[in-house]
Amino acid sequence: MRLKKSVGRRVFLVVNALLVALISVVCIYPILHILAVSFSSNEAAQGGMVNLLPVDFQLDAYEFVIGNAQFFTSFGVSVKRTLLGLVVNMTITILAAYPLSKTRDKFSGRNKYMWFFVFTMLFSGGLIPGYLIVNATGLIDTIWALVIPSAVPVYNIILLQNYIKGLPGEISESAYIDGAGEWSVLFRIILPLSKPVLATLVLFAAVAHWNSWFDGMIYMNRPQNYPLQTYLQTIVVQLNLKAVTNLSDVTNIAEQNSKAAQIIIAMLPILVVYPFLQKYFTKGIVLGSVKG
Amino acid sequence: MNKPARRAPQNTLASKRPGRGRFKRQLPLHVMILPAVVILLIYAYVPMLGTVIAFQNYTPAKGFVNSSFVGLENFRYLFSNPNFTNALKNTVIIAFWKMLTGLVVPLAFSLMLNEIGVSWFKRTSQTIVYLPYFVSWVLMAGIIVDIFSPTRGIVNSFLGLFGIDPIFFLGDNKWFRFVLILTNVWKEFGWGTIIYMASLSAIDPSLYEAAMMDGAGRVRQTLHVTLPGLMPTIVLLATLSLGNVLNAGFDQVYNLMSPVTMQSGDIIDTLVYRIGIENGQFSVATAAGLFKSAISCLFIVASYKLADKFAGYKIF
């Protein structure tokens, strides 16, 4: 076998590497650009002078955001909904996945329950009936509107029950012989063995809650109840689109750099944990696609 | 000696007899699953029943019970309404292009990544392209509006280098759908790439060695080892994506659309939101939503069936 690569192969490798590099740069460029804008003066941002490096480096935009009470209120709502939502989601996921992981002769209603869960993935009542029931149960303008309607992550439950099914059955069998009940088998044996997949599910539930904006928009009437993404939707997106409607965004006098700063801060929790937990981020996606 | 008391019953007769004892023994399992069942009943199944208002002239004052039934009137109204037919058309077009690009772009990119031998370069590139998937559409829309702006956007300054006049990408019906599909690729192709990379790493390396022994070059290795190895994943993603035939992506479209681009960008979901939540026409909006749910349900069931048949995939 020849160890030396042919000329054609070497040309291909170089071109391929350049293309991959180019695509990666195009992917990250907009995010770096908005980071640069957030550290630039508003005049430079408005004039389109900012590229990858800040122009007239300054922290004015961040000072403005820090002085913005609504931003902080919304940030607090987001933190609260994420923590609360995480606890509720994970409790429900664990408690539902364990019985569903049993075979039918160990848990007689198992298949009926399973269909009950899966059917909600196939068909939904849609926006309006969903809104009406949230309204009827008195959740409007409470934090629970952001937590309860999405409290049962059916897809995650299916992933977890698949994982539990794959665990060796002997360990729990011997626990039953020692007189352990279902609750202690779940908490003493199954959960410790499921740590890797639980980490992934926690991460996905947290990201979903942090990124969620639509429920805040329809279920919250008072701005002080908006989670961060909903608040940013009103200031970052709606204002920009108004400018588009006027067919010229010269009229858009809103502060570009402070918008950029708010986008960056809202993204920060994900930007900070992502590089360290990338393994779990990717695992969550693979888990969902290839049978877990 | 204590024999295990909780062994699985050996036959159905034995398991039928102590019915009450069995329920008592399994009671903890029913208790565990109860919270999820109750919440789904209230927030998933009651709304399904609530779709009855699609067949009514519903007003909140009268409620489900007292609102008068109008049969298929709301659906007739929808299908004679050019806004709805336009939204339906846009939905299918946008969803189709998103499905297609969602399959092809990640596949091409993972094959390219796979050829990269320098591991830090490969890893860095993966980290970067996966990132946008985890950022919300609200924030992405804020960025997109900025970079596609005709006055200060970097896209137009780049095109300006080639003497192209600024294009109002987000305010022009000729360009709007293109921007939707392009930015969707940007945000979402990391997801598909993750899946393809996982299945690439599962291909048995000895197959490549055997192919090399037979004198196959890199191109033939790709054609005869890599692609067949990826085929189950490609088929799986293709069939499962069928379920999205009416999912054009509310989060993205809603955050990028303006009245100017409604003609090319309005989709069923944004229409339902507008007429339902903003205009308070609950019955018409529910009818449009029910139409979407029903068609989607058929496609999702079909996609699961196909995925099971061609890729051996079962959701549970």
Check: CB of residue B287 under 8 Å from CB of residue B75: yes
Q: How far is B288 from chain A (nearest CA, A)?
A: 9
Judged against a pLDDT cut of 80, whether residue B54 lies above it is answered with: yes
The pLDDT value recorded for residue A24 is: 96
Q: Would you call A291 an interface residue with chain B, using a CB distance cutoff of 8 Å?
A: yes
pLDDT over 70 for what percent of chain B? 93
Residues B175 and B218 in one domain: yes
pLDDT at A290: 52
Q: Give dist(CA A246, CA A254) in Å, integer.
A: 14
A161 lies in a domain?
yes
pLDDT at A50: 84
Q: What is the mean pLDDT of residues B72-84?
A: 95
Handedness of CA A223, A227, A230, A235 (dihedral sign): positive
Determine the Cα–Cα distance for residues A204 and A210; give it in Å rounded to an integer. Answer: 10
pLDDT tens column, B225-262: 999 999 988 988 888 888 899 999 999 999 999 889 99
3-state secondary structure of B9: coil
Please state the pTM of the whole predicted model. 0.88
Q: What is the rounded distance in angstroms from the CA atom of residue B216 to the CA atom of residue B280?
A: 65
| Phi (first) and psi of residue B189, to 5 degrees | -70, -15
What's the pLDDT band for B5 if we cut at 50, 70, 90? Answer: very low
Claim to verify: residue B196 and residue B229 sit in the same structural domain? yes
Is B295 inside a domain boundary? no
What crossing angle do the helices spanning B173-200 and B119-130 adopt, rounded to 10°?
130
Would A148 be classed as within a structural domain?
yes
Q: Does B40 share its domain with B125?
A: no
A147 within domain boundaries:
yes
CATH of the domain at B171: 1.10.3720.10
Q: How many domains are contained in chain A?
A: 1
**Is residue B55 located within the same domain as residue B170?**
no
pLDDT score of A289: 63
The predicted structure's pLDDT at residue B3:
42
Q: Which of residues 113-132 of B touch A (CB under 8 A)?
A: 113, 115-118, 121, 124-125, 127-132
**Structure-derived torsion over alpha carbons of residues B144, B148, B151, B155, reported in degrees to the nearest 10:** 120
CB B90, CB B267: distance < 8 Å: yes
Q: Per the domain annotation, does A14 fall within a domain?
A: no
Residue B198 lies in a domain: yes
Residues A162 and A291 sit within 8 Å (Cβ to Cβ): yes
**Domain tally, chain B:** 2
Backbone angles phi, psi at B80, to 5 degrees: -95, 0
Question: Is ipTM strictly over 0.85?
Answer: yes
List pLDDT tens digits, range B136-183: 999 999 999 889 988 878 899 889 999 999 999 999 999 999 999 999
Q: Tokens for B34, please give them.
A: 């109860």
Residue B218 binned pLDDT confidence (cut-offs 50, 70, 90): confident
Question: Measured between alpha carbons, how far is residue B162 from residues A73, A279, B73, B95, B157 in Å?
Answer: 46, 41, 54, 32, 9
B171: closest chain A residue by CA: A244
A171 is a domain residue: yes
Asked if B33 and B97 sit in the same domain, the reply is no
Rounded to the nearest 10 degrees, the angle between the axes of helix A154-165 and helix A110-122 is 140
Contacts of A247 in chain B (CB under 8 A): 168, 171, 260
Residues B30 and B116 in one domain: no
pLDDT digits (tens, 9 = 90+) for B6-41: 444 444 444 445 567 777 889 999 999 999 999 999
Q: Do both B54 and B145 map to the same domain?
A: no
CATH of the domain at A245: 1.10.3720.10
The pLDDT, as a whole number, for residue B49 is 94
Same domain, B98 and B63: no
* b/e B249-276 (16+ beta carbons within 10 angstroms → b): bbbbbbbbbbebbbebbbbbbbbbbbbb
Q: Is residue A90 part of a domain?
A: yes
Q: Is residue B105 part of a domain?
A: yes
CB B138 within 8 A of CB B187: no
Mean pLDDT (whole number) for B58-82: 90
Radius of gyration for chain A, computed over Cα atoms and rounded to the nearest angstrom: 25
CB A214 within 8 A of CB A232: no
Taking the CA of residue A286 and the nearest CA in chain B, the distance in Å comes to 6
Supply the pLDDT for residue A250.
Answer: 42
Residue B50 belongs to domain spanning: 22-69
pLDDT of residue A6: 80
Q: Are residue B61 and residue B95 in the same domain, yes or no? A: no
Cβ contacts of A286 on chain B, cutoff 8 Å: 194-195, 198
Judgement on whether residues B190 and B63 belong to the same structural domain of the protein: no
Given CA atoms A79, A82, A86, A88 in this order, what sign does their dihedral have? positive
C-alpha B195/C-alpha A288 separation (Å) is 9
Collect the ranges in chain A with pLDDT lower than 50: 1-2, 247-253, 291-292
| Interface check B101 vs A, CB under 8 A | no
In a domain, A3, yes or no: no
Assess if residue B276 is contained within a domain.
no
- The boundaries of the domain holding residue A284 are 68-289
Question: Would an 8 Å CB–CB cutoff place B298 in contact with chain A?
Answer: no
Q: Are residues B113 and B152 in the same domain?
A: yes
> Is residue B154 in a domain?
yes
Q: What is the rounded distance in angstroms from the CA atom of residue A5 to the CA atom of residue B214?
A: 17
Interface of A with B in 79-118 (CB under 8 A): 91-92, 95-96, 98-100, 102-103, 105-109, 113-114, 116-118
DSSP B67-113: SEE-TTHHHHHHHT-HHHHHHHHHHHHHHHHHHHHHHHHHHHHHHHH
